[in-house]
Structure 1
């Protein structure tokens, strides 16, 4: 689309820079999260108060029911004492004034007692009252008691009720009284207000304790994590903004440690992207200037053809081929900043001349230092892209040379062997160097990760793996004893087509 609008295509460095800018701008956009309603602390305090009040209400209902039952039982006990006093009077009859005084003291209008098979009215006012409701406390269930207690608050205060019970009577005996409900309702209201005040006090104290505890254990650590995530999102590439775990062993501590690890990984990835952006820009600049220099060198090398020296005539074609290969590589690097290699242009060719050319390009052998031994049959052919396979073997041999040079004496041997197994070509590159370290083996074929020596970039093996994979082949560390042995497996194009057909099937 850039070409249609008349803009120059983006290079690899510019693409990576744009990706990094998008990540950082996305972090800045999230640096000021919107706040809706109260914070976590306020919600926690409010919910704690509500839950404690709900618990108090659930306790209040049976408490009021029990208070009503005890209050009525107390009235029945007082009525029982008054009835015993009335029965002890001569003739079982009390003077009117004494009768009224007893009824007023126990706050009832009438008292009746049942013994054996007879029921006797002991005390009664002159004007019998009309009864509005009756309650039997002898076999009342807790649901009935709760329902009757709640009805007291809903009914009028001037009701007259009949209550039956047996506080201290033998089996088959009971006492019943007729009384006004207003004193009971007033007592229940006072009791309810006392319970309400106590509930509010308990709710405040409990809510404060629960709030302070949860605020210290949960809210403040979560607020700290939230603040850190917002702060980290502003500058995710800054390692100083990574959260510091508190060392807790609970879920908060686990969240802190996981967040710290995730932030460290993200910061590393962003720093690596910045390095890749800088590297891509540098490679684009270097490739541009290097292509111009190589073109000039190619023009100068053409003049060597006129030199009659036999040795020069042997080296000029190889020099020109190397310059052509380098110029094509620079051109591909600059072509839209390609991050991937071009598909291989495969054909069958003899492998031995290519291996000899690799050794000549690296100045191998080096007398008294590095031996260069080839075990490649002259008629062995490989089906591959010649330039790309040259780069693969050149990278492997260059790594072998650098491994030998890292030794104290700088001496050793590089051996290349090749053979055919059916439709597959196997190429082994072995050296007698120190081998590949454990740290380098963990990320052997990853760019910028497989650096095995000081000053290395970790790109050689990554490029070789990408080129071999493009051929449908495989590269591996076949052995690491007595030096490193890398094996390159290149299948013929017929084998690749058969694999493709099997995958599609």
Structure 2
């Protein structure tokens, strides 16, 4: 099994942690701004409480706090100046003699989200040695508190708060990532790993059906993928078995073909001698026999090409279709005892551009199938019509329609499903289905198409359609 350098599960774990941390960052920015606002408001509220307390102790408004009290208040607020404004009257509560120039003024009554965020970032990045003056209303706004102090304590507390948020975010991110990782690993990663392992094992030995994945029966996308993978592996295993059988068959055919060509060559020599006899019956049969032997030799030469799933490219010639059909019926050689009528309904003037030998094979294969279907019913009522008809015409769109029709029992449903597939589309017991497969391949090589047409009458009706421009001359009679 190949080494997986970067696992999906590890990537998902890292991505989940980064996503949670990003969410925490988005939460942190307004959170730290709100922390700064509350920290400053607490200082102002403390100053206001101190001012109210001093007013109650000395209603006449004289010196409100003694030196020791001022020092205690400044130390408690970590400030250098504390004052309140009440009824437009400013009252100084405490002041440090070392008070210097104010670098920053913050009016809490004019804060908005944007100013809060920018102020918090400014404090974190630059708030160290600056002196700030903070003032704002307290309660119902009748009292305004004012504090002058260093920005360092605020920045220090904000950094501590940020550190705590960071640790909390890491804990939440790790916990969430582990939960997501466990869920994804159980419901997604492990099934994918199982499918990957199955594909690798199956690829090492596809003929072994025990290596086909067994679907778990899940009703989600993973279950569908497992079922489709099992179906695909099953089809591939079946195809490989068929290919192996075809390879064995091809080897056997090549051996038979070698000896059969020698036998046919000897038979051709004998038939040539028979053609020199003056017997009228021999003279009538000899040309037919010679043509059959010539075609048989050509077929033996093309057997291996078909075994390699390759047909020779058609060498098209202009052919009189009626004469070609006549030769086909002679080749089929229907015995008189079968009482099968072969009707050549092709018009005498219809010409088609096809490879004569290949198209002869197409019509011969179709007619032989029809003869076998009709001869299989010889035990039935002798009054049954047994007829094979070949007709053709040129359609309005320029296509040439060729129909091969018989009056047999028709094709069963199981044969229709794999009609033009070799070794699976046979109708009769012991058949290979190669005839229709060869016919379909040749017709497609000519740019046409072949199909079993639906017919209201009993029997089989095959329709061959050749592309426009392939026919010339007069058309035949009706083919419907």
TM, length-normalised to structure 1: 0.75
Give 1:290 shift.
Answer: 0.6
CA distance in 2 between counterparts of 1:468 and 1:192 reads 79
Structure 2 gaps of 5+ residues are 474-480
Return closer, same or farther for 1:492/1:200 CA change in 2, 3 Å cut-off: closer
2:134 touches 2:148 (CA, 8 Å); kept in 1? yes
RMSD over aligned CA atoms reads 4.0
Return closer, same or farther for 1:186/1:288 CA change in 2, 3 Å cut-off: same
Deviation per CA, 1:68-89, whole angstroms, max 9, x where unpaired? 2212222222211111122223
Return closer, same or farther for 1:189/1:304 CA change in 2, 3 Å cut-off: closer
1:121 matched residue in structure 2 = 92
Return closer, same or farther for 1:116/1:291 CA change in 2, 3 Å cut-off: same
- Aligned counterpart in structure 2 of residue 88 of structure 1, from 44, 56, 70: 56
Tell me, yes or no, if structure 1 residue 193 matches structure 2 residue 163: yes
Give 1:381 shift.
Answer: 6.9
Aligned runs of 1:455-470 on 2, under 5 Å?
455-467=430-442
Aligned runs of 1:197-346 on 2, under 5 Å?
197-301=167-271, 315=285, 318-333=288-303, 339-340=311-312, 343=315, 346=318
Give 1:174 shift.
Answer: 1.2
- Aligned counterpart in structure 1 of residue 408 of structure 2, from 414, 433, 450: 433
Structure 1 gaps of 5+ residues are 1-30, 498-505
Tell me, yes or no, if structure 1 residue 450 matches structure 2 residue 425: yes
CA distance in 1 between counterparts of 2:358 and 2:342 reads 20
Q: Secondary structure of 1:481's partner?
A: coil
2:108 matched residue in structure 1 = 137
2:24 matched residue in structure 1 = 56
Q: Secondary structure of 1:138's partner?
A: helix
2:70 touches 2:93 (CA, 8 Å); kept in 1? no
2:370 touches 2:388 (CA, 8 Å); kept in 1? no
Return closer, same or farther for 1:407/1:237 CA change in 2, 3 Å cut-off: farther
Deviation larger for 412-421 or 488-497: 488-497
Tell me, yes or no, if structure 1 residue 184 matches structure 2 residue 154: yes
2:477 matched residue in structure 1 = none
Give 1:438 shift.
Answer: 3.0
2:109 touches 2:137 (CA, 8 Å); kept in 1? yes
Give 1:53 shift.
Answer: 1.9
2:459 matched residue in structure 1 = 483
- Aligned counterpart in structure 1 of residue 372 of structure 2, from 396, 402, 415: 402
CA distance in 2 between counterparts of 1:54 and 1:492 reads 67
CA distance in 2 between counterparts of 1:492 and 1:116 reads 105
Deviation larger for 338-347 or 377-386: 377-386
Deviation larger for 330-339 or 435-444: 330-339
Of structures 1 and 2, the one with the larger relative CO (CA 8 A, separation 6+) is: 1
Tell me, yes or no, if structure 1 residue 146 matches structure 2 residue 117: yes
Q: Secondary structure of 1:120's partner?
A: strand
CA distance in 2 between counterparts of 1:356 and 1:84 reads 125
Return closer, same or farther for 1:392/1:207 CA change in 2, 3 Å cut-off: closer
Give 1:208 shift.
Answer: 0.7
Give 1:406 shift.
Answer: 4.7
Q: What number of residue pairs does the alignment pair up?
A: 460
CA distance in 2 between counterparts of 1:375 and 1:245 reads 56
2:342 touches 2:387 (CA, 8 Å); kept in 1? yes
Give 1:205 shift.
Answer: 0.7
CA distance in 2 between counterparts of 1:123 and 1:283 reads 115
CA distance in 2 between counterparts of 1:142 and 1:282 reads 88
Tell me, yes or no, if structure 1 residue 416 matches structure 2 residue 392: no
Deviation per CA, 1:190-246, whole angstroms, max 9, x where unpaired? 322322221221121111111112222332233333333333333445544444444
Give 1:258 shift.
Answer: 4.2
CA distance in 1 between counterparts of 2:38 and 2:260 reads 104
CA distance in 2 between counterparts of 1:247 and 1:115 reads 78
Give 1:292 shift.
Answer: 0.9
CA distance in 2 between counterparts of 1:98 and 1:211 reads 59
2:410 touches 2:460 (CA, 8 Å); kept in 1? yes
CA distance in 2 between counterparts of 1:213 and 1:223 reads 15
Q: Secondary structure of 2:149's partner?
A: strand
Tell me, yes or no, if structure 1 residue 79 matches structure 2 residue 47: yes
Deviation larger for 211-220 or 300-309: 300-309
